[in-house]
C-alpha cells in the first residue's frame, strides 16, 4: 500500500520528506568529521587522503583528480563569469578601430546571457561538488570503521563490481538524472532568474546588456499603467485559460464516459467497428487534424459555404448574431471560444472513451446486479454506482487532465494562429489575444517578440497556478478517499 499512496498523494509531504533527508545527510557528515581520525579530517582538504590511508590508491587518485578538476573549473571558467553575476556585465559591445591591424574590431564586451547562464551552471557544479565533498568524508569514515572492526575493505576491482550490484542504482540513475538536471532543473532556474531581469528585444545580447530589475516585471503584470497593458491582458488571458480548462476537461471527461457506456451497451451491434472508427481520429496527428479543422471552419471554408447554402448564415444575420457575410467561427471573440471548446470535444472524447472503457470493464458487476434487482433505473445506476466508481479510479487523472488542458498548446495554437486577430488595442499592445492561453501567449512573446522577461514571469505564474490547484485538489481528494484506501 505504501507504494500506491506514494507519488501524488504525498505532494504535500514531498517537501517535508526532502528536507528531512537533507537533515539526515548533514547529521551523518557532522558525525564523520567529529569522530573521524586524522585522515578523515584531512579528507576535508585533500579528497583522496582517507582512501590513501586505507591503501585504496586508485580511488584516492580519482578523488584527487576530481578535486583538481573542480579547482581548475573554478579558476579558469567560473571566475570569469560569477564575479559579474551581480551586474550581469557592464561592458557594452562596440566596434573599435584598431590601429595595429587597421581594422574595426569588437571590443572585449560582456554577454549578459552567458554571464547569467554560466554563473548558474557554476552554482550547480559547486552545489554538486559540495555534496560530493561531504559524501566523501562520510565514505572514508565508513572505511575507517570497517578497518577498525577488522572487516574486509574492498579493493578497486571489488568497488567497480559493486556498481553492478548493490550500487547498481547509481549506474542506472546517473545519466537520466544528468539529463533531467541539464534539460529541466537548470532551465527552470534560469527562467526564474530571467523573470527578475530586463531581458527583452531592447536588451538582446550580444549587442546589448541586460541587468537585474527586481520585481519590476511582476508589478507590470499585476499593476496596470498607461504604458503597460500586461496587467489588463493577464487577467483576461488567465480568465479564459481557467474557463477553457474547466470546460475542456469536463466536456471530454463526461462525453468519454457516455460514449463508452453507449458503445459497451448490450444493445450495441458491432462495438469493435465503432470503436475503431473513433480511435482512427486519434491516430491522425493533431497538427494535421486541427489544421484541417481550422480550414474547414475558416471564413471561406467548406462549413461556411454549407451554412450559407442552407440559409443559416442569412438567418443568423437577420437575428443579429453576426454582422458579416460569413460566420466567423474562429475569428471573432465568443464564436471562437465556443468553437474551440466544441472542436476540442471532437479531439478529446476518443481518448477519454478508451480510458473509460478500460476502467468500466473492471466495474464490480455484483453491485450493478443488485441495483437492477432493487429496481434502479439506468440513470440511478449511473448516478450512484458507475460515476462514484469512475471518479474513484480516474479522479487523479481528472486533476492531471485539468493541468494538461491549462497548458494545452496544440489546440489553441493550431486552431487560431494566423486566423484570429484581436481588435482589442490593449490586448494587442501586450501581444495577447482573447483566445490565447497563458502558454500560447508566452510562446508568442518569446518566438515573435523576444520579450523573454515577461514570458518568464508568465511562466512562473503558470507554475504557481498549476501547483496550487494540484495541491488543493489532491488534498481534497485524499481526504474524501481515505475510507476506501483502508479497505
- Subset of residues 94 to 113 that bind another protein, contact rule: CB under 8 A: 113
Q: Which of 142, 289, 367, 381 forms a contact with another protein (CB under 8 A)?
A: 289
**Binding of another protein at residue 277 (CB under 8 A)?**
yes
**Binding of another protein at residue 484 (CB under 8 A)?**
no
**How many residues bind to another protein according to rule CB under 8 A?**
111
**Binding of another protein at residue 457 (CB under 8 A)?**
no
**Binding of another protein at residue 410 (CB under 8 A)?**
yes
Q: Are 295 and 301 contacting, i.e. CB atoms less than 8 angstroms apart?
A: yes
Q: What angle do CA 142, 148, 149 make, to 5 degrees?
A: 90
**Near another protein in 345-364, by CB under 8 A:** 346, 349-350, 354-355, 357-359
Closer by beta carbon to another protein, 48 or else 350: 350
**Binding of another protein at residue 462 (CB under 8 A)?**
yes
Q: Are 251 and 345 contacting, i.e. CB atoms less than 8 angstroms apart?
A: yes
**Binding of another protein at residue 251 (CB under 8 A)?**
no
**Binding of another protein at residue 341 (CB under 8 A)?**
no
> Which class for 73: exposed (0-12), middle (13-18), buried (19 or more C-beta within 10 A)?
middle
Q: In whole angstroms, what is the distance from residue 185 CA to residue 234 CA?
A: 26
Closer by beta carbon to another protein, 4 or else 151: 4
**Near another protein in 165-184, by CB under 8 A:** 165-166, 168-169, 171-173, 175-177, 179-180, 182-184
Q: In whole angstroms, what is the distance from residue 240 CA to residue 304 CA?
A: 26
**Binding of another protein at residue 481 (CB under 8 A)?**
no
Q: Which of 14, 34, 91, 243 forms a contact with another protein (CB under 8 A)?
A: 14
Q: Which of 128, 387, 467, 472 forms a contact with another protein (CB under 8 A)?
A: 467
Distance in Å, CB of 83 to another protein, minimum: 20
Q: In whole angstroms, what is the distance from residue 74 CA to residue 78 CA?
A: 5
Distance in Å, CB of 255 to another protein, minimum: 10
Q: Which range in 86-94, 139-147, 291-299, 369-377 contacts another protein by CB under 8 A?
A: 291-299
**Binding of another protein at residue 415 (CB under 8 A)?**
no
**Binding of another protein at residue 262 (CB under 8 A)?**
yes
Q: In whole angstroms, what is the distance from residue 177 CA to residue 358 CA?
A: 33
Q: Which three cell numbers stand for residue 129?
A: 561538488
Q: Which of 393, 422, 426, 449 forms a contact with another protein (CB under 8 A)?
A: 393
Closer by beta carbon to another protein, 17 or else 334: 17
**Binding of another protein at residue 480 (CB under 8 A)?**
no
**Binding of another protein at residue 143 (CB under 8 A)?**
no
- Which residue in the block uniquely carries the three cell numbers 499585476? 222
**Binding of another protein at residue 272 (CB under 8 A)?**
no
Q: Are 107 and 94 contacting, i.e. CB atoms less than 8 angstroms apart?
A: yes
**Binding of another protein at residue 439 (CB under 8 A)?**
yes
Q: Which range in 16-24, 65-73, 312-320, 367-375 contacts another protein by CB under 8 A?
A: 16-24
Peptide bond into 206 cis (omega under 30): yes
**Binding of another protein at residue 265 (CB under 8 A)?**
yes
Amino acid at each position: 500500500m505504501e507504494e500506491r499512496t506514494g507519488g501524488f498523494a504525498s505532494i504535500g509531504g514531498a517537501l517535508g520528506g526532502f528536507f528531512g533527508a537533507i537533515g539526515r545527510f548533514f547529521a551523518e557528515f557532522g558525525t564523520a568529521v567529529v569522530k573521524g581520525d586524522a585522515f578523515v579530517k584531512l579528507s576535508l582538504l585533500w579528497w583522496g587522503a582517507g582512501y590513501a590511508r586505507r591503501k585504496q590508491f586508485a580511488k584516492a587518485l580519482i578523488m584527487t583528480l576530481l578535486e583538481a578538476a573542480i579547482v581548475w573549473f573554478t579558476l579558469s571558467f567560473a571566475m570569469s563569469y560569477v564575479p559579474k553575476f551581480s551586474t550581469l556585465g557592464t561592458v557594452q559591445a562596440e566596434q573599435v578601430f584598431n590601429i595595429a591591424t587597421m581594422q574595426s574590431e569588437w571590443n572585449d564586451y560582456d554577454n549578459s546571457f552567458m554571464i547569467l547562464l554560466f554563473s548558474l551552471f557554476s552554482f550547480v557544479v559547486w552545489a554538486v561538488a559540495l555534496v560530493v565533498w561531504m559524501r566523501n568524508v562520510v565514505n572514508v569514515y565508513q572505511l575507517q570503521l570497517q578497518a577498525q572492526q577488522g572487516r574486509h575493505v574492498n579493493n578497486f576491482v571489488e568497488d567497480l563490481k559493486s556498481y553492478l550490484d548493490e550500487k547498481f542504482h547509481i549506474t542506472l540513475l546517473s545519466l537520466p538524472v544528468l539529463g533531467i538536471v541539464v534539460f529541466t532543473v537548470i532551465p527552470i532556474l534560469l527562467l526564474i532568474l530571467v523573470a527578475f531581469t530586463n531581458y527583452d528585444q531592447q536588451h538582446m545580447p550580444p549587442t546589448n546588456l541586460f541587468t537585474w530589475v527586481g520585481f519590476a516585471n511582476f508589478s507590470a503584470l499585476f499593476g496596470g499603467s498607461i504604458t503597460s497593458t500586461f496587467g489588463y491582458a493577464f487577467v483576461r488571458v488567465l480568465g479564459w485559460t481557467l474557463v477553457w480548462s474547466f470546460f475542456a476537461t469536463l466536456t471530454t471527461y463526461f462525453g468519454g464516459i457516455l460514449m463508452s457506456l453507449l458503445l459497451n451497451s448490450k444493445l450495441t451491434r458491432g462495438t469493435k467497428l465503432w470503436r475503431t472508427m473513433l480511435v482512427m481520429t486519434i491516430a491522425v496527428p493533431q497538427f494535421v487534424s486541427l489544421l484541417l479543422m481550422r480550414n474547414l471552419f475558416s471564413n471561406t471554408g467548406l462549413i461556411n459555404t454549407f451554412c450559407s447554402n442552407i440559409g443559416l448564415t442569412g438567418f443568423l444575420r437577420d437575428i443579429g448574431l453576426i454582422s458579416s457575410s460569413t460566420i466567423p467561427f474562429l475569428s471573432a471573440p465568443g464564436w471562437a471560444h465556443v468553437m474551440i471548446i466544441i472542436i476540442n470535444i471532437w479531439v478529446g472524447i476518443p481518448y477519454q472513451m478508451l480510458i473509460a472503457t478500460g476502467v468500466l470493464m473492471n466495474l464490480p458487476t455484483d453491485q450493478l446486479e443488485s441495483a437492477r434487482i432493487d429496481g434502479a433505473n439506468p440513470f440511478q445506476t449511473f448516478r450512484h454506482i458507475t460515476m462514484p466508481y469512475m471518479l474513484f479510479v480516474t479522479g487523479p487523472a481528472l486533476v492531471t487532465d485539468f493541468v494538461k488542458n491549462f497548458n494545452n498548446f496544440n489546440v489553441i495554437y493550431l486552431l487560431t494562429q494566423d486566423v484570429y486577430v484581436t481588435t482589442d488595442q490593449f490586448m494587442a499592445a501586450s501581444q495577447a489575444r482573447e483566445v490565447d492561453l497563458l502558454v500560447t501567449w508566452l510562446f508568442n512573446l518569446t518566438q515573435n517578440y523576444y520579450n523573454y522577461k515577461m514570458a518568464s514571469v508568465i511562466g512562473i505564474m503558470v507554475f504557481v497556478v498549476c501547483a496550487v490547484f494540484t495541491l488543493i485538489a489532491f488534498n481534497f481528494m485524499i481526504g474524501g478517499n481515505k475510507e476506501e484506501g483502508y479497505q
